Amino acid sequence: MEELTSTSTPKKGPSVPAIPSVERRMFLRALGLTTVSAAAFLTACQNSMNDVAPKYSGARLSADGVSFGEGDFAILNYAYALEQLETAFYMAVIEKKTFAAGSKEEMIFKDIHDHELIHREFFKLAIPADKRIGDLEFDVSSIDFTNRREVLNTARVLEDTGVAAYNGAGPLISKANSIYLTIAGKIVSVEARHASLISSILQPGGGLFAGDYVVDNNGLEKALTVSEVLGRAGRYIKTAINPASLLALESSKS
Amino acid sequence: MNLLGIFSQIEKADPEIGEKMDYSRRKMLKTTSVAAAATPMFFAAMVNKAFAAEGCAGDAIAIVKYALTLEYLERDFYRAGQFKAGLLPAGTRPYVVQIAKHEAQHVDLLEGVLGIKPNAMQPKYNMATLNAALADYPTFLTYAQALEDTGVRAYKGQAACLLEEDTATSRTVLAVALRIHSVEARHAAAVRYMRDLRVWPSGGQNGTEPDPKVYMDEDQGTQGGANLVDFFNMQENKMKLYSPDMSTRSVYESFDEALTAEQVLAIAGPFFAAPM
């Protein structure tokens, strides 16, 4: 079994006060991963996983919550929401100084932040204002930003989730707007490169970059449903969400 | 260019589909020569756009055969690399094995989609090209990167074709193609990482390139009608980035571009034996 913790380095940056957390460990448990690689990963975390319980799982859902809208706009807003979350996460990593200033890892996370922000601003430009969700609020305080490995693993999970979300949502786009699928395809492969890069930092020289926990025995990466994505990423979304229109679109196509 | 040669090999392997391939070939040659339509501003303006996916390899079955051809090449490239004595330095094998495993799985899967026997459509290779690509480890990585980045661009280029076809077959193939596409992107980034390159393609950041066509038109500043290079050259937008001075490169890196079937086969062509 591959050891996933071979790159730990001493923290050099200024220490950041620990953020109270009741569920950061549960984030890992909630992944629902079942393969050997995931099992190895979870085993490594097991010691700290038995003392907490989830306050809630996934997004805050409410009939009064933010709706993604109808038709293809629901898909675009879904992507926009994920890009907003990713941007907020990477900004927190940089601002909370998980990685030493000027380190290679900090540079990589700055690069990834900038890509996610460009994706976010692209969707903001591309979706007409009257069809577009607003700026979502996020709460990433459950993440221990002083813990380098937790940050790397959270980044990996977010990227894996983003890729699988795009893989799942792509076929929902209407054929009249196939251009959206083409553009989503341009973005998703960049997210997959992020996932690969972060995984290579976590496990240099190993197979985690396209690990068996995300790529099945047919060589296919995961495709996640909206519910699965909200179950994973939604815990960081503070704004209440009403995914009804998106779920209806999804069920109409399945 | 060996494009037609590749297709005639496939037809030899499976003569029953000749008629379909004729259709595919006509459609492909027709569609790839159409200049890109002027892009309207932003998505909302595109709702009534006629179906116009360009560069399709044909219908869904033809696209599977096209993808399978590329997967055979990738699989057999890595297979040859794995078994060439002394090629892979110590410690690099797990990376290569993981990639090679997926390429073999993709071949098996796509053969399954077509309902053909193992290797029934395996192309004949130009062994001189293949051997040269395996000359030494740096050369191997150079070609691996070219094949992976081309693979990403190839799958991306067929997605809209499959969506527009909108048949039971095309929907199945699309779901599969998207899930292969992201795996190829993970591979591409991993190979680039092994070469100590930035893992996102952009001009000047791709290392030694065996073929400049691999990254042709990869640097795009405008997406869906939105000029992002201009947008991020504006001071208030630029300053949202951690690397404001690199905003143009970051825009290029943030979007991977597609290639048409014709462009991809022009890149892959030298690996295949000339048609009889």
Question: Are the Cβ atoms of B255 and A186 closer than 8 angstroms?
Answer: yes
Do B67 and B160 belong together in one domain? yes
Q: Is A36 on the interface with B (CB under 8 A)?
A: no
Q: Over the stretch B186-223, which tens digit does the pLDDT of each residue have?
A: 999 999 999 999 999 999 999 999 999 999 999 999 99
Report the alpha-carbon distance of residue B226 to residue B240 in Å, rounded: 18
Q: Is A102 on the interface with B (CB under 8 A)?
A: no
pLDDT on residue A57:
52
Report the alpha-carbon distance of residue A23 to residue A26 in Å, rounded: 5
Host domain of residue B135? 3-37+46-218+256-271
B276 within some domain: no
Question: Are the Cβ atoms of A221 and B166 closer than 8 angstroms?
Answer: no
Average pLDDT for B91-98 = 94
Could you give the C-alpha distances from B117 to A144, B100, B125, in angstroms and in order?
52, 20, 19
Do B12 and B119 belong together in one domain? yes
Please give the residue that has the higher pLDDT: either B106 or B53.
Answer: B106
% of chain B residues with pLDDT over 90: 79
Q: Over the stretch B238-276, which tens digit does the pLDDT of each residue have?
A: 999 999 999 999 999 999 999 999 999 999 999 999 775
Do B30 and B65 belong together in one domain? yes
Q: Are A208 and A2 in contact (CB under 8 A)?
A: yes
Do B63 and B119 belong together in one domain? yes
DSSP string, B124-176: PB-HHHHHHHTSSHHHHHHHHHHHHHHHHHHHHHHHHHHHHH-SHHHHHHHHH
Nearest CA in chain A to B185: A189
The pLDDT of residue B116 is above 90:
yes
Closest-CA distance, B14 to chain A, in angstroms, reads 24
pLDDT on residue A21:
35
- Check if the interface score ipTM surpasses 0.90: no
Nearest to B186 among A117, A186, A209 (CB): A209
Nearest to A193 among B199, B231, B241 (CB): B199
Host domain of residue A185? 24-253
Q: How many domains does chain B fold into?
A: 2
Question: Are the Cβ atoms of B228 and A118 closer than 8 angstroms?
Answer: yes
Do B88 and B191 belong together in one domain? yes
The pLDDT of residue A77 is above 90:
yes
Q: Are A196 and B148 in contact (CB under 8 A)?
A: no
**C-beta atoms surrounding B169 within 10 Å:** 15
Q: What is the number of CB-based contacts under 8 A between chain A and chain B?
A: 223
pLDDT on residue B242:
98
Average pLDDT for B82-108 = 96
Binding-face residues of A in 108-147 toward B, CB within 8 A: 110-111, 113-115, 117-119, 121-122, 125-128, 131
Do B110 and B246 belong together in one domain? no
Three-state secondary-structure class, residue A63? strand
Mean pLDDT, chain B, rounded, equals 85
A171 CB neighbours in chain B (<8 A) are: 163, 171, 174-175, 178
pLDDT on residue A59:
77
A1 within some domain: no
Average pLDDT for A153-164 = 98
Do B177 and B235 belong together in one domain? no
User: Which tokens hold the place of A162?
Assistant: 């983003």
Q: Is A170 on the interface with B (CB under 8 A)?
A: yes
Average pLDDT for B131-151 = 98
Do B121 and B58 belong together in one domain? yes
Do B267 and B208 belong together in one domain? yes
Q: How many domains does chain A fold into?
A: 1
B105 CB neighbours in chain A (<8 A) are: 217-219
Q: Over the stretch A28-54, which tens digit does the pLDDT of each residue have?
A: 333 333 233 333 333 333 333 333 333
Query: pLDDT band for position B52 (50/70/90)?
Result: low
Q: Are A142 and A27 in contact (CB under 8 A)?
A: yes
Question: Are the Cβ atoms of B256 and A221 closer than 8 angstroms?
Answer: no
Name residue B46's beta-bridge partners.
none
B81 within some domain: yes
A131 within some domain: yes
Question: Are the Cβ atoms of A175 and B51 closer than 8 angstroms?
Answer: yes
Do B264 and B135 belong together in one domain? yes
Do B74 and B201 belong together in one domain? yes
pTM for the predicted model, two decimal places: 0.82
Do B162 and B180 belong together in one domain? yes
A17 within some domain: no
